[in-house]
Structure 1
Amino acid sequence: MPPLALLTAFLLLLLLLLFLFSSSAAAATFPNCQRTFSCGSLHNLTYPFTGGDRPDYCGPPEFRLTCRDDTHAELTLDSVPYRVLEINKTQQTLVLARSDLWNNTCPKKFDNSTTDSNVFNYDFDNQDLHLVYGCSSLLNYTPYNRFNCTVSGVNSSDAFYVVGPVPVDPILGNVTKCNVMITVPVASDAASRLIGNQTTLAETLMKGFHVIYKDPYVDECSNCTWIGGRCGFDANSSSPICICGDLQCPIPNIIGSRASSQSRKAAANIAMFIAGAVLTGVGLGWGIFTCRQRRERRKRLALAAQSSRSTETKSKKDIYSPPLSRGLTAGPSTNFSDSIPSFPSSKFSEFGKASTYFGVQVFSYAELEEATGNFDCSRELGDGGFGTVYYGKLQDGREVAVKRLYENNFKRLEQFLNEVEILTHLRHDNLVILHGCTSKRSRELVLVYEYIPNGTVADHLHGSRSSAGLLSWPIRLSIALETANALAYLHASDIIHRDVKTTNILLDNDFHVKVADFGLSRLFPTDVTHVSTAPQGTPGYVDPEYYQCYQITEKSDVYSFGVVLIELISSKQAVDTNRDRHDINLSNMAVNKIQNHALHELVDPSLGFETNSSVRRMITFVAELAFRCLQTERDMRPSMEEVLTALRGIKNEEFNAQKAEVVDIGIGDEAGLLTSDSTTPNSIG
């Protein structure tokens, strides 16, 4: 063991013994906190969760789980039981569903869903669903979303649900004369599907909603684990405890615990002593390490000097050769210069110690503050998937886009490292270039990209730049083609983007595409057909089969790209609550228009669909392609490579008149996409 590691281990052991022997109180026993909780689909849960084989004192009472029939776990919040559908400890999120509303829309007790905001916070990806029961009169409002539930003998037809604002009677000033109304959060995508009549009320409630949780005693727990203890909770004193072995030991005040004043003073004195010892040990250890490194470096240089020039050239080529663009290896393989040791298997442990990470520059937070004018709000370019993006100019004159992540926690760190790792291994003309990032030890997590000056496709279609009318049909077709090219490249590299949308498609001054925002991207194993994961993404773009089955495939990106194609031909937003309830989701609206031979009602009039036969033919073919991408069953959708080939064919005028007359859109005996006036001449100009 290296001297520094040995010294550190000894000091940690010494600190633990000092705290153990400093405890004057009689120690109660708290056994079995090393055990885990498993139930149904949940496995090997530890702190802060308790239940089953994990005694109640092994975590805070807010996280006490109950296993029901060995099929599912329940968590009770404010006396309301919830099924725990999923727990992600890395991201500290839960997916919960009301137990009393599980496959049941008529509960015995009417309670709103409430949580302790100090422990649980509703995720942004939820909407409020209101369930209204027992309305004796509906005066000026006739609900269309009625469901069966009899409350105290009231007619069952007088129960209904509504997503969003509840209708108010203009005379009575309330929701007519209704006995009760309860509010339940549901996932935004499930709410959109419910509004679009793609699912039922019961199914929507069983999909659950997303919650972000946090340990209210995180400081105390960190202090406890620092000395090798296990975190727990004493119900008698309603306070956190530290369990060393099976005995309670004092919680040290290392990072701001809530221990008693006596423990604070003792911990402070010990900390000062240990800090001095650690600093001395670190200095000695670093001196030894540096001397060894220098000796090793001299040996390498001596051996290199003896090698022939050709061998030296080949060696340099091997050291600095870029990673392959095809796929990602199981672990980092890039080697850095001689002054930097090879990158180890754990990117979390070493990231922040070198001047490069996966071959990109590691910037200091101070130089990025300077580049962005201290993150001046006037330099904001927009919001990315996980942070605000600012315009910046580096000292070397490079213009950059600087993405400052919203939070610096483990969840954000994982997404941060994910985006860095993926982008540095990929090289494509239509993917945004990553220049560098900050260290994980930095004050904040920041990514530095090439600056793309012309905004996003969403800006030009229905945002701040839409009034300029710069996106002619040829430009839109090129945008579709280049985006498909980038996604096909990702899929060929075994990567799924997972958040394809027009706000993630950037445009340069020549309107060439740069696909961005890889915070949700996932490496796709080559030996499986899908990956099971909690649905993430943006409402209006999420693959409905992905949301139903929790299975992500390359066809999930294809569905999202289908929505992008419809946006390009319609200039409409993917989700717009101001539209008719059947048309809130653009994908639903497009499928209905196409099936009803009403494509002209969908297309942006400024594109010349009614006046230019060539444009009409190409838009019709793109609409057909989008229709295939938007099929509910993923097996009915084309691959991204097939989509790319089709778009190239449309752009290269490879579709002839016979193709225009009969189009197989893969829907059995359903009516064809094209109307009788869509006959195409031999070439599409």
Structure 2
Amino acid sequence: MALLSHKPEPVGNASLKKWEFIGSGGFGVVYKARHKDWGFDVAIKLLHNGQLSHTSSFTFEQSKLYDEANHMGKASCDFVLRVYGIYQGCPPEEKSFQRGIVMEFMGRGSVQTLQMLLSGPPPWPLTFRVAHEVALGMNFLHSRNLIHQDLKPSNVLLNDDLHAKLADFGLSRVSTSALSSNGEMTGVTGGSYKYMPPEAFQTSYRPVHAFDIYSYGILLWSIVTGKEPYNAADSSLVELKVPAGDRPPLGEIDQIRTKGLKEIVDLMKRCWDKDPSTRPTFKECCEVTENVLSKHQEGIFAAVHQVLTTMDSPTTYQHSSKAVRFYLQTPELTKIDDFVDHARFETQQNSVSVATRNLTDTEKAKFIDDKRAKLIQDVSEVLRIVEELGDKVHQETYSKILFKETSQEKMRELYNSTLRSGGSSVKAALYDALKKHELNLMERLGMI
């Protein structure tokens, strides 16, 4: 796409149809509409205070809107959200003439949307592809002497094939944090302070490329764990702790769980180093992420298919509303499902079908009883297992499990309620669920 000029060609109401409200935030509102001539959907971002007459001069915010459009045009590539023009017109059910940005529509929302729908990270191949595509987009951005300044899960958008693209360039410009059909919207600063480097909390700080590198390190942690960093901390606590050296915990990441994960964790630590001069460039980041992704390339198709199937399942949306409430109300967004790469996923499925074929419910139940203490201590995929049990877990118990802060507390609640009263059949179902989602643990415990 050619770079936008300072006066990009406008897109008016005559070119648009099938308007659909997507959501709103501190900046304004976003609509989806079909462009009649182009034949595809676009996203239209409007400011809350973007009303003006046909002859009025630009406000400061409108000038920033044009700045954002021009910056996005300058950075246009496969891994950065594309800008098609400037909207000028009167949106449906609005009475005033407005201006906005006409952008690429990303039908699968953002990485944050995905994390909430899955209640955790996606399969490893997709996790590493997202990490690599973000690095590629940021490398291109820096090659154009642009700084993002607001790199976080809600600003990494996903298309219909779950490829990642960067959106929302900089806290100094107007920002929107979602252009999706899932209705996700946050304001300009929603969560951004958690991704700011320690030096940025100084009042005299002026952003440089190292700002984005630090943010990428925190983003990598979020992508890998499926969690929001410092979820229980407010801005004042983060501002105090981050310059003192606090970072998101790495202890919960099993670095030998899959190929390349150790390299990604090492990259995280390099990116969020306290000294900006020692952080890697995005070119160096791309070399690491490309190498890790190459180890999982054959599993990409299966991972994308698995996630899209999960996202499109009615039960996913039923549970996603619970996951959203859980995310908003509890101190920590607990990881539900790391999933697995394609090869290991097939191995697990085959192992379950072979190993459990000749076992009785009584044998499975005895294993669950005998290993009670170890299962409470070590099971991490608790909510995924609870969902696997389905109606065997009463709604009241499900709610109690949701609001437990740790995996150990969740498993203990499951034992004290569902497993205590459910008998051998429920314990046998738990055994099968554990073999599907915690195969490595079950093998270490010497499963029957």
The two structures have a TM-score, normalised by structure 1, of 0.35
Q: Confirm or deny: 8 A CA contact 1:575 1:584 kept in the other structure.
A: no
Alignment partner of 1:371 out of 3, 6, 17:
17
* Cα distance, 1:399 vs structure 2: 0.6
Post-superposition CA distance 1:423-474 (Å, at most 9, x none): 223331111111111359982221111111111001111x3x224x681111
Which structure 2 residues correspond to residues 609-620 of structure 1 after superposition, within 5 A? 609=254, 613=256, 615=258, 617-620=259-262
- Per the alignment, residue 31 of structure 2 pairs with 390
Alignment partner of 1:459 is 2:110: no
SS state of the match for residue 371, structure 1? strand
Q: Confirm or deny: 8 A CA contact 2:2 2:73 kept in the other structure.
A: no
| Larger deviation, residues 396-405 vs 480-489 | 396-405
Distance verdict in 2 for CA 1:590–1:620, change over 3 Å: farther
Distance verdict in 2 for CA 1:440–1:415, change over 3 Å: farther
Structure number with bigger Rg: 1
Q: Confirm or deny: 8 A CA contact 1:482 1:513 kept in the other structure.
A: yes
* Cα distance, 1:584 vs structure 2: 10
Alignment partner of 1:571 is 2:226: yes
Q: CA–CA distance in 1 between the matches of 2:75 and 2:132?
A: 19
What is the aligned-residue identity percentage? 24
* Cα distance, 1:418 vs structure 2: 0.9
Post-superposition CA distance 1:318-352 (Å, at most 9, x none): xxx945xxxxxxxx8x6xxxxxxxxxxxx4xxx4x
Q: CA–CA distance in 1 between the matches of 2:149 and 2:122?
A: 26
Post-superposition CA distance 1:374-417 (Å, at most 9, x none): xx5xx31564x733222222223321111111223633122201
Q: What letter is aligned with 1:546?
A: A
- Per the alignment, residue 75 of structure 2 pairs with 426
SS state of the match for residue 496, structure 1? coil
Distance verdict in 2 for CA 1:554–1:583, change over 3 Å: closer
Q: CA–CA distance in 1 between the matches of 2:200 and 2:238?
A: 21
* Cα distance, 1:556 vs structure 2: 0.4
Q: What letter is aligned with 1:570?
A: T
Distance verdict in 2 for CA 1:519–1:565, change over 3 Å: closer
Distance verdict in 2 for CA 1:367–1:412, change over 3 Å: farther
Q: Confirm or deny: 8 A CA contact 1:498 1:536 kept in the other structure.
A: no
Q: CA–CA distance in 1 between the matches of 2:230 and 2:99?
A: 31
Q: Confirm or deny: 8 A CA contact 1:413 1:440 kept in the other structure.
A: no
Q: What letter is aligned with 2:217?
A: G
- Per the alignment, residue 378 of structure 2 pairs with none
Distance verdict in 2 for CA 1:547–1:576, change over 3 Å: same
Distance verdict in 2 for CA 1:450–1:519, change over 3 Å: same
Q: What letter is aligned with 2:82?
A: I
- Per the alignment, residue 627 of structure 1 pairs with 269
SS state of the match for residue 109, structure 2? coil
Q: Which has the larger strand fraction?
A: 1
Q: Confirm or deny: 8 A CA contact 2:121 2:226 kept in the other structure.
A: no
Q: Which has the larger helix fraction?
A: 2
SS state of the match for residue 497, structure 1? coil
Q: CA–CA distance in 1 between the matches of 2:43 and 2:123?
A: 27
SS state of the match for residue 552, structure 1? coil
SS state of the match for residue 551, structure 1? coil
Distance verdict in 2 for CA 1:363–1:500, change over 3 Å: same
Q: Confirm or deny: 8 A CA contact 2:149 2:170 kept in the other structure.
A: no
Q: CA–CA distance in 1 between the matches of 2:44 and 2:211?
A: 29
* Cα distance, 1:586 vs structure 2: 11
Q: What letter is aligned with 2:293?
A: K
Q: CA–CA distance in 2 between the matches of 1:444 and 1:543?
A: 36
SS state of the match for residue 107, structure 2? coil
Q: Confirm or deny: 8 A CA contact 1:582 1:589 kept in the other structure.
A: no
Q: What letter is aligned with 1:591?
A: R
Q: CA–CA distance in 1 between the matches of 2:240 and 2:109?
A: 24
- Per the alignment, residue 591 of structure 1 pairs with 247
Aligned residue pairs, count: 267
Q: What letter is aligned with 1:443?
A: F
Q: CA–CA distance in 1 between the matches of 2:23 and 2:126?
A: 23
RMSD, aligned CA: 3.7
SS state of the match for residue 445, structure 1? strand
SS state of the match for residue 260, structure 2? helix
Q: CA–CA distance in 2 between the matches of 1:568 and 1:517?
A: 18
Q: Which has the higher contact order (CA 8 A, sep 6+)?
A: 2
Q: What letter is aligned with 1:363?
A: V
- Per the alignment, residue 45 of structure 2 pairs with 403
Q: CA–CA distance in 2 between the matches of 1:440 and 1:635?
A: 47
- Per the alignment, residue 561 of structure 1 pairs with 216
Which structure 2 residues correspond to residues 129-528 of structure 1 after superposition, within 5 A? 322-323=2-3, 347=6, 351=7, 357=8, 361-364=9-12, 366-367=13-14, 371=17, 373=19, 379-381=21-23, 383=25, 386-396=27-37, 397-408=39-50, 410-439=59-88, 443-461=97-115, 463=116, 465-467=117-119, 471-518=122-169, 520=171
Q: CA–CA distance in 2 between the matches of 1:585 and 1:618?
A: 33
Q: CA–CA distance in 2 between the matches of 1:577 and 1:479?
A: 26
Q: Confirm or deny: 8 A CA contact 2:121 2:223 kept in the other structure.
A: no
Which structure 2 residues correspond to residues 14-25 of structure 1 after superposition, within 5 A? none
Distance verdict in 2 for CA 1:586–1:401, change over 3 Å: farther
Q: Confirm or deny: 8 A CA contact 1:506 1:513 kept in the other structure.
A: yes
Distance verdict in 2 for CA 1:589–1:453, change over 3 Å: farther
Post-superposition CA distance 1:345-372 (Å, at most 9, x none): xx4xxx4xxxxx1xxx4022x448x636
Q: What letter is aligned with 2:285?
A: V
